[in-house]
């Protein structure tokens, strides 16, 4: 007689969570001048938790800074969770250089790795995203690739 695992079919299905940039904020008048908001999506039918996020942010080819943050963000099954994380600017990204990102549309690139705890153990998920984002307006999501006529 065969012994089945905890799932009805005897299989444990798992898909890595996804990480995407939701929005970016640069405000040189704030104590935390750079904020990166990430959407964490859990496609699984069980809860996972994000325990660490590491990333590098580049705006218009200028390295803005790195983020290394331990945390514990519970991600309910089949949902997306948005987390906003302050980033400490790199030495080359002084406040006067950051002011150029207070308005207009700018290119961004984010590369990183998120660590998740799951029922099958710890998973390290790499992510990368590039695009354009409007600054100096109400928060808007990271832009989708433009169509042939320039529209999203």
Q: What is the pLDDT of residue 30?
A: 84
132-147 pLDDT, tens digit per residue, is: 999 876 554 554 444 4
> Mean of the pLDDT values across residues 62-90?
92
> CA 57, CA 134: separation in Å to the nearest integer?
16
**DSSP string computed for 83-98:** EEEEEEEPTTS-HHHH
- Read off the pTM: 0.79
Alpha carbons 127 and 39: distance in angstroms, whole number: 12
Please state, in angstroms and rounded to a whole number, the distance separating the CA atoms of residues 89 and 64. 5
User: Which has more pLDDT, 1 or 77?
Assistant: 77
Structural domains of the chain in order of their starting residue, each with its CATH number: 18-135 (2.60.40.10)
Return the bridge partners of 134, or none.
105
**Residue scoring higher pLDDT (50 or 92):** 50
Q: What are phi and psi of 30, to 5 degrees?
A: -90, 155
CA distances from 82 to 23, 103, 119 (A): 10, 24, 22
Query: For 15, which DSSP code?
Result: -
Q: d(Cα 70, Cα 18) in Å, to the nearest integer?
A: 18
31: buried, middle or exposed (CB in 10 Å: 19+, 13-18, 0-12)?
exposed
Closest by Cα among 123, 94, 104 to 17: 123
């Amino acid at each position: 007689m065969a012994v089945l695992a905890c799932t009805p079919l005897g299989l444990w299905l798992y898909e890595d969570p996804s990480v995407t940039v939701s929005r970016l904020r640069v405000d040189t008048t704030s104590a935390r001048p750079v904020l990166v908001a990430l959407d964490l999506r859990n496609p699984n039918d069980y809860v996972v938790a994000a325990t660490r996020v590491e990333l590098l942010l580049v705006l218009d080819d200028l390295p803005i800074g790195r983020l290394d943050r331990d945390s514990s963000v519970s991600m309910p099954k089949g949902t997306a969770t948005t987390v906003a994380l302050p980033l400490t600017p790199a030495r080359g990204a002084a406040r006067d250089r950051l002011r150029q990102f207070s308005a207009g549309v700018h290119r961004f690139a984010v590369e990183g790795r998120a660590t998740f705890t799951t029922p099958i153990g710890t998973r390290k998920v790499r992510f990368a995203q590039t695009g354009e984002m409007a600054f100096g307006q109400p928060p808007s999501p990271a832009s989708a690739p433009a169509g042939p006529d320039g529209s999203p």
